Structure 1
Amino acid sequence: MNKIYHLGTCDTCRKIIQSLPSTDGFVLQDIKTEPITEKQLDEMKKLAGSYEALFSRKAMLYKSLGLKDQNLTEADYKKYLLEHYTFLSRPVFLIDGKIYIGNSKTNVANVIAALS
């Protein structure tokens, strides 16, 4: 199953999804209205290699909680990812058993290539 974890209120996520050749066959999950489950997060971690790879350090909450001054463990990353949607580096694409994380131009180009 192909899936996109995104934030419906995020302009960047919307632009990226609209730039795709097609979203037919994708399940779109707005992580604000339908939070990520532990099972889903574990599936993403298995593909990404770590919870840290899924974690966004750009989140304002990251700085306001003082997390940038701490040495976070994988258990910490998992806990924060499950606690608040803002910590997920988004969008996250699951396409044919592969994961694509974030909104970098390279990542978006790889997603588009995977769909072609």
Structure 2
Amino acid sequence: MMADSVSVEVVGLPYCTTCQKAVAYLEERGVAIQNFRDVKTQPLSRAEVEELARKVGGAEKLFSKRAMKYRKMGLHEQQLSEDDLLRHMTEEYTFITRPVIVRGDRATAGFSAKRVDELVG
């Protein structure tokens, strides 16, 4: 069991199955979810996207190449700079890898039990 004092913020979509899995996983471990931010109804500002990117270890780690628009917009054929990635994630929430689990100054993007354990352990 984790210490009672561990709490996180989750950034994602309520109907996203990966986000639901992550929330269930956190709850099983007794981790309090302080806030669930729905990026569709509460879009992230550019500053917030930059902050999340910094916490997960860079825009590359936060950016989702699985987003349907990634290929539609032809982004897979472009060399995207850090600035491009941040701009796309700010303009289009589906480019943000879900969920982002934030604990203080660190965060992990996408659900991986191992990475979540490292974050909250």
- TM superposition score category, shorter chain reference: 0.7 to 0.9
Cα distance per residue 1:18-77 (max 9 Å; x no partner): 121235252110111111122211211222332122100011110111110111111110
4+ residue stretches of structure 1 with deviation over 4 A?
A: none
Letter of the 1:115 partner, please give it.
V
RMSD of Structure 2 on Structure 1 (CA): 1.8
Q: Which consecutive residues of structure 2, in runs of 5 or more, have no partner in the other structure? A: 1-6
Match of 2:60 in 1: 52
TM-score by length of 2: 0.82
CA shift in 2, pair 1:25/1:5, >3 Å: closer
Match of 1:18 in 2: 24
The aligned length equals 113
CA shift in 2, pair 1:71/1:38, >3 Å: same
Aligned partners of 1:8 and 1:32 also within 8 Å: no
Letter of the 1:14 partner, please give it.
Q
Deviation at 1:2, TM superposition (A): 3.0
TM-score by length of 1: 0.85
Which of 97, 114, 121 in structure 2 is aligned with 1:109? Answer: 114
Q: Which consecutive residues of structure 1, in runs of 5 or more, have no partner in the other structure? A: none
